[in-house]
Amino acid sequence: MLNPAVLISLLICITIHEFFHAFAADRLGDPTARSMGRLSLNPLRHLDPLGTIMMLFVGIGWGKPVPIDPYNLGNPRRDETLIALAGPVSNLVLAVISAIFIQLTNIHPSFLVTFIIINVSLAIFNLLPIPPLDGSKVFLNLLSVDSALKWEEAFNRYGYLLLAALLFLPIGSSNLISLIITPIINLILSVLL
């Protein structure tokens, strides 16, 4: 079971992350998340039951994805990219604000350090271009429409399997995703902390 500081940090980070997806979608013209009660800072609105159980007992979990309807967006490809980026960017902003607080006060509470680490980790992990992560939407929308359709078909077939393999197949004492994102996370943390 996760320690309380990690659990509380994850709860806050995931809630803020999903809220900002909903907020961005709403601001860009899609009321779907608002109509489903997802434009909320209530963590219960954003927790996925299986993702929460996994978080508690395995240490890897997820929130409930925010639904969007691209037909409500003025510029679907651009707006979908902005919505996808809103979650990870919110986590990075929270990490920066927390780091500035530490620098200004010279107080290093372990909770805030944990909070910064989790926010940065969540942001970088979600930017990977693998479904269902936010980075996959960004990646697809940067491609031509034809290329995006081909990649999306492959993602629909193999994306979740690829993510599971990258997360759970051991490589030495780690996994492939950790080998990819840990240097980036450590670089950001070295600047912030």
Cα–Cα distance for residue pair 7/186, rounded to 1 Å: 21
First to last CA, the chain: 27
The yes-or-no verdict on residue 190 having pLDDT over 90 is yes
Three-state DSSP at 62 gives coil
Highest mean pLDDT among 101-110, 140-149, 167-176: 140-149
Q: Active-site residue 18, yes or no?
A: yes
CA angle, corner 136, sides to 131 and 141, nearest 5?
A: 140
The average pLDDT across 32-55 equals 90
Reported as half-sphere exposure (CB side, CA atoms, 13 A), residue 23 has a value of 13
- In angstroms, the CA 189 to CA 193 distance is 6
Report the alpha-carbon distance of residue 21 to residue 39 in Å, rounded: 9
Q: Which of 18, 80, 152, 153 is catalytic?
A: 18
- In the predicted model, is pLDDT for residue 56 greater than 90? no
Give residue 1's pLDDT band: very low, low, confident or very high (50, 70, 90).
Answer: low
Span 93-99, average pLDDT = 97
